[in-house]
């Protein structure tokens, strides 16, 4: 059975003043797959996620959702089935874990449905369930990242956009976070687009990836081939492709 293409970026350009943050970028994301966005700082990876979520102004090109052109506006994008977990965790530290999840489910008007979603999300993150009444600010960095992921799932998205989920975490916790990302993908068939510097962990769970440099896609392939190709070393060492 052929998979549906959920999300496409066609010839997308984004400018910051006179600088081209993205220059004619083409990306697609199929249902149920994990796709990596890889590249050095300033390559345009996070800009891609922000563009999809309506946080950056598109200079030219098209965004397609399930084959239809859309103009990304954040609240409308959420309603369509896209969730964004930005880097830096950004939990509401003065609120409890449960209250953070309730905010994540802001589009859910039915309270019974909201409670059901909290229960379902807690099954994925038992450590959060054990501390559901604790203030988010009392959690460790790894637990806060788990909460950020959990909050992103409250809308039951078809697509999850993750920006640097391992940022500032110890190696042991990084492994745990990536295991949770894979679990979310497998159990819920959620398509995931991930920006991440920890290439080894990311390519281990991703189906395929795009390599960016200076706002351009310089390579794309399945994860294993990218890992073995040498293109990553070239990009990160500043060599031309």
Evaluate whether residue 113 is within a structural domain.
Answer: no
Q: At what angle do helices 97-104 and 141-152 cross, to 10 degrees?
A: 30
Domain CATH for 217: 3.40.50.300
Could you write out the three-class secondary structure of 124-166? HCHHHHHCCCCEHHHCCHHHHHHHHHHHHCCCCCCEEEEECCC
Distance CA 234, CA 213 (A): 10
Number of domains in the chain: 1
What is the domain extent for residue 194?
5-86+157-236
pTM: predicted TM-score of the whole model, two decimal places: 0.92
3-state secondary structure of 95: coil
93 within some domain: no
**Residue 112 located in a structural domain:** no
How confident is the model at residue 239, as a pLDDT? 56
Look at phi and psi of residue 163 and say left if phi exceeds 0, alpha if psi is from -120 to 50, else beta.
Answer: beta
- Is 173 inside any structural domain? yes
Query: Rounded to 5 degrees, what are φ and ψ at 56?
Result: -130, 145
What is the spatial distance between Cα 228 and Cα 64, in angstroms, rounded to a whole number? 31
- Domain-located, residue 81: yes
Residue 203's closest CA among 34, 8, 3? 34
pLDDT band at 238 (very low <50, low <70, confident <90, very high): low
Task: Give pLDDT tens digits for 126-185.
Answer: 989 999 999 999 999 889 999 999 999 999 999 999 999 988 888 888 888 899 999 999
74 belongs to a structural domain: yes
CB neighbour class for 209 (10 Å; exposed up to 12, middle 13-18, buried from 19): buried
């Amino acid at each position: 059975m052929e998979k549906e293409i959920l999300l496409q970026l066609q010839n997308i350009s984004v400018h910051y003043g006179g600088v081209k943050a993205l220059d004619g970028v083409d990306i697609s994301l199929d249902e149920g797959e994990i796709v990596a966005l890889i590249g050095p700082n300033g390559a345009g990876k996070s800009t891609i996620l922000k563009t999809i979520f309506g946080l950056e102004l598109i200079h030219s090109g098209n965004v397609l959702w399930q084959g239809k052109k859309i103009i990304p506006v954040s609240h409308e994008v959420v309603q369509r089935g896209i969730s964004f977990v930005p880097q830096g965790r950004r939990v509401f530290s003065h609120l409890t874990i449960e209250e953070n999840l309730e905010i994540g489910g802001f589009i859910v008007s039915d309270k019974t449905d909201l409670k059901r979603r909290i229960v379902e999300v807690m099954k994925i993150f038992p450590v959060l369930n054990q501390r559901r009444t604790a203030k988010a600010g009392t959690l460790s960095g790894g637990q806060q990242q788990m909460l950020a992921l959990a909050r992103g799932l409250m809308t039951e998205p078809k697509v999850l956009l993750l920006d640097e989920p391992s940022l500032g975490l110890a190696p042991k916790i990084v492994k745990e976070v990536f295991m949770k990302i894979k679990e979310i993908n497998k159990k819920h068939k959620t398509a995931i687009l991930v920006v991440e510097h920890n290439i080894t962990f990311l390519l281990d769970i991703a189906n395929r990836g795009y390599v960016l440099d200076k706002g351009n896609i310089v390579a794309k392939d399945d994860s294993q081939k990218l890992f073995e190709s040498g293109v990553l070393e070239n990009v990160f060492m500043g060599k031309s492709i």
